[in-house]
Structure 1
Amino acid sequence: MEPFIEGGTLIFFDEVQSCPNARTAIKFLVQDGRFDYIESGSLFGINYQDVSSYPVGFEMQHEMHSLDFEEYLWGKGIGEEVIAVLRESFIQRKPLNPIIHKAMMRNFREYMVVGGMPRVINKFIETGDISKVIQEQKDIINGYRDDVKKYAGTNKNKVQETFDSIPEQLNKKNKRYFLTMLSKEPRMRTYKDSIMWLFDANIASPFYNISAIEFPLSLNEKRNLFKVYMKDTGLLVAMSFGNIQNEVLNGNIEINEGSILENALAEAFVKNGHRLNYYDRKKTNQHGN
């Protein structure tokens, strides 16, 4: 092994959630000053209770997402000059050249099916085989389920139930998450921790109802009324019932009550740092789950 070089070595700690107190120790390593460090973990948001002391002032956090559509195009070798044309067309509100538009729509449909997980994209680029893409996605989904069993504690069954219900919940006309689909006698207080676990684990995103379109919108949020979107649309497609991949690839992007397209748009907003809300004028007085 090459020797560490002061001021020239970066040390990478992966899967830090498996050793929460490594985050406490990083303070002393940073104070030492000889090397630089990166900590990576998939479940930072849910193991905060296990960290004895946070390294305040010694740790800068960055939330990572799966690849967005532009990054997907990079992965496929589509040049910046083409992407610049797309960007300029959007800014100027001008239609694209029909040939470019057709090609980009094909790429976008692929992106909805493949998603933004790097290993899944690599598999698609290497093989072009959707069945192998689906297998990679199912491996990731099963990894999520394993994380639930390992980290969700006594809530693991409810978290699993909440997670598995997302495709069915979105496959409705209004897309709202109904706890009645999980239990005959649901209580928000019973499932709240399970739903928040998925949000904290960066697996899904909340989309809260607002009672009025008045800024700031957050003051009008009704937290008992919400929709839940997957952070990666490709994984949602893989979790959905039936062989819908070919339907989407062949142009039927409104399949499943438009849930796939709506999730892709919600995902794009989240990846660009936007908070999600929805307003339903006819149902502002409705009660929660």
Structure 2
Amino acid sequence: MERKINKFLLKWKTDLIRKPLLIIGTRQVGKTYTALDFGKQNYQYVAYFNTDHNTILKDLFKKERSITRLAEALSIISEVPIVKNDTLLIFDNVTDEDIIKGIKLFGYDKNDYHVIAITSSRDSLLKFRGEEFQYKIMTEMDYEEFLWAIGEKEVAEKIRYAYDNHRSCSVHTKALDYFYDYLITGGLPEVVEAFATNKHYGYLDSIKERVFDINKSELLNSKNLIDIERGIEVMESIPKQLEKDNKKFQYGVLGYGRRAKEFENSINFLVTNQLVYRSYKIRVAKSPLSSCRELDSFKLYLPDDGLLSMRYNLTKDRLRVDENVKQALYENHIAHTLVESGYSLYYYQSEGKAEVNFVIQNRMGKIIPIELATKQGSKVKSLSVFMKKYIVTDAYRITESNFSTKKNVRYLPIYAIFCLNEQLY
């Protein structure tokens, strides 16, 4: 399946200052498949190494510091010729420090060896730090990639055309219907592929349940055993948290008498490892937004819409009529799309209870509010108050209606959030 990261990989391959590349992302987002497919399409040889509990590689990298001898040994181990510029070396499931130090050696070479390391552990970033590496975060498939996968590339192109040219989308109804499929399916490649071939939701849920369990198992890497149980509680509570009118994370949902101090480490671990995404409350909006955040007031989101819809036992028919669940899924979708585009999340709530669902700061320092509304007749008072108070000239309002613009507010259909990935600069 076509992935957007492929463009980045092609650029990396021809980069004059190319370094070994670390691809980091949660499990099951397609890191290994993408790297192997990229190697198959663009190199004469691909040498793949699963480093998980690989004592042979660990001993090799621990003892050998010569690039030439390392290449010779790796060729013998993989039974693949290690040819400069013609072989892609892929090291998967990398967490061991000795192996990381060994991979770093290729960063000192003159760009002759092409090396990709893959990990799902954010903690590994600390071990990889240095000028010897380049980094790329990989996430699940967005709605545009989903459309590509199910053979609807033309729909994706028409959505982008409408966004870029400030026009209404000629396939609006069709795009919204497919978006409902995406909310239920999610963006995990294995689930998307299964949907594209047989479209049986029961089978898809079995895959998503397994992936959700895999994500929960990442908590086993937590240093404190009690944090494992609490982390699972937090993840399991997110559907209930988002279904509330007030979507702020409330410890009371976890059980009577639960306190923030009990869950602080677990939540930080989940956020650090991208198992959940966090949005902080702000009462004022000034640059930088990070200086305005309230650390004890936040919302949590899941990184995949399909994992969330599974917890609701959702069907397309129910999605169309259940406004609480729809609001939860829409807000979750906007949140993970923005985070995966590189933005920190904030939501605005004034003393007068006016709330804007998302406030971000783009790479030029501009503060941009994004408001979500699921009903066409919903008022825009909160967004208007925010724009007037902070002299904001650009804002987005997300609805189920077609593209339009009113008084400096761009109205985007919910399915077009992926267009913001490359536009909010």
TM-score by length of 2: 0.60
Describe the shift of the 1:181–1:20 C-alpha distance in structure 2 as closer, same or farther (beyond 3 A): farther
Contact 2:222 2:269 in 1 (8 A): no
* Counterpart in the other structure of 2:377: none
Describe the shift of the 1:82–1:257 C-alpha distance in structure 2 as closer, same or farther (beyond 3 A): closer
Q: Take 1:256 and 1:224, find their aligned partners in 2: how far apart are those partners?
A: 25
Describe the shift of the 1:84–1:118 C-alpha distance in structure 2 as closer, same or farther (beyond 3 A): same
1:94 to 2:155 alignment: no
One-letter amino acid of the counterpart of residue 115, structure 1: G
Describe the shift of the 1:152–1:129 C-alpha distance in structure 2 as closer, same or farther (beyond 3 A): farther
Q: Take 1:136 and 1:64, find their aligned partners in 2: how far apart are those partners?
A: 20
Secondary structure of residue in 2 paired with 1:180: helix
Decide which of 302, 317, 322 is 1:247's aligned counterpart: 317
Contact 1:116 1:232 in 2 (8 A): yes
Aligned pairs for 1:58-137 (under 5 A) are: 58-79=132-153, 81-97=154-170, 100-137=171-208
Give the drift of 1:272.
2.1
Q: Does 1 or 2 have the higher relative contact order (CA < 8 Å, sep 6+)?
A: 1
* Counterpart in the other structure of 2:282: 210
Contact 2:243 2:324 in 1 (8 A): no
1:230 to 2:302 alignment: yes
One-letter amino acid of the counterpart of residue 223, structure 1: L
Q: Take 2:237 and 2:120, find their aligned partners in 1: how far apart are those partners?
A: 22
Structure 1 or 2: larger helix share?
1
Aligned pairs for 1:252-263 (under 5 A) are: 252=321, 254-256=323-325, 258-263=327-332
* Counterpart in the other structure of 1:173: 245
One-letter amino acid of the counterpart of residue 222, structure 1: E
Q: Take 1:236 and 1:188, find their aligned partners in 2: how far apart are those partners?
A: 23
Give the drift of 1:177.
0.4
Give the drift of 1:56.
0.7
Contact 1:173 1:257 in 2 (8 A): no
Give the drift of 1:143.
0.8
Give the drift of 1:245.
2.6
Q: Take 1:212 and 1:121, find their aligned partners in 2: how far apart are those partners?
A: 40
Q: Take 1:182 and 1:208, find their aligned partners in 2: how far apart are those partners?
A: 19
Q: Take 2:248 and 2:327, find their aligned partners in 1: how far apart are those partners?
A: 13
1:28 to 2:100 alignment: no
Contact 1:26 1:55 in 2 (8 A): no
Describe the shift of the 1:275–1:110 C-alpha distance in structure 2 as closer, same or farther (beyond 3 A): same
Q: Take 1:170 and 1:211, find their aligned partners in 2: how far apart are those partners?
A: 21
Give the drift of 1:239.
2.5
Aligned pairs for 1:4-15 (under 5 A) are: 4-15=82-93
One-letter amino acid of the counterpart of residue 83, structure 1: A
- Identity rate of aligned residues, in percent? 24
Aligned pairs for 1:266-285 (under 5 A) are: 266-282=335-351
Secondary structure of residue in 1 paired with 2:168: coil
Give the drift of 1:119.
0.7
Give the drift of 1:32.
4.8
1:56 to 2:130 alignment: yes
One-letter amino acid of the counterpart of residue 239, structure 1: R
Secondary structure of residue in 1 paired with 2:351: helix
Q: Take 1:47 and 1:271, find their aligned partners in 2: how far apart are those partners?
A: 19
Give the drift of 1:147.
2.0
One-letter amino acid of the counterpart of residue 279, structure 1: Y
Give the drift of 1:103.
1.0
Contact 1:266 1:276 in 2 (8 A): yes
Q: Which string of whole-angstrom CA distances, capped at 9 and with x for unpartnered residues, describes residues 217-247 of structure 1?
A: 211100110000111111111123xx32343
Contact 1:27 1:55 in 2 (8 A): no
Give the drift of 1:180.
2.3
Contact 2:283 2:348 in 1 (8 A): yes
Aligned residues: 273
Which consecutive unaligned segments of at least 5 residues does structure 1 have? 285-289
Q: Which string of whole-angstrom CA distances, capped at 9 and with x for unpartnered residues, describes residues 93-138 of structure 1?
A: 33222xx111111111111111111111011111111111111101
One-letter amino acid of the counterpart of residue 229, structure 2: N
* Counterpart in the other structure of 1:16: 94
* Counterpart in the other structure of 1:287: none
Secondary structure of residue in 2 paired with 1:62: strand
Which consecutive unaligned segments of at least 5 residues does structure 2 have? 1-78, 354-425
Describe the shift of the 1:63–1:201 C-alpha distance in structure 2 as closer, same or farther (beyond 3 A): same
Secondary structure of residue in 1 paired with 2:333: helix
Secondary structure of residue in 2 paired with 1:186: coil
Structure 1 runs of 4+ aligned residues shifted over 6 Å read none
Q: Take 2:102 and 2:261, find their aligned partners in 1: how far apart are those partners?
A: 36
Contact 2:280 2:294 in 1 (8 A): yes
1:41 to 2:115 alignment: no
Larger deviation, residues 169-178 vs 148-157: 148-157
Q: Take 2:270 and 2:158, find their aligned partners in 1: how far apart are those partners?
A: 37
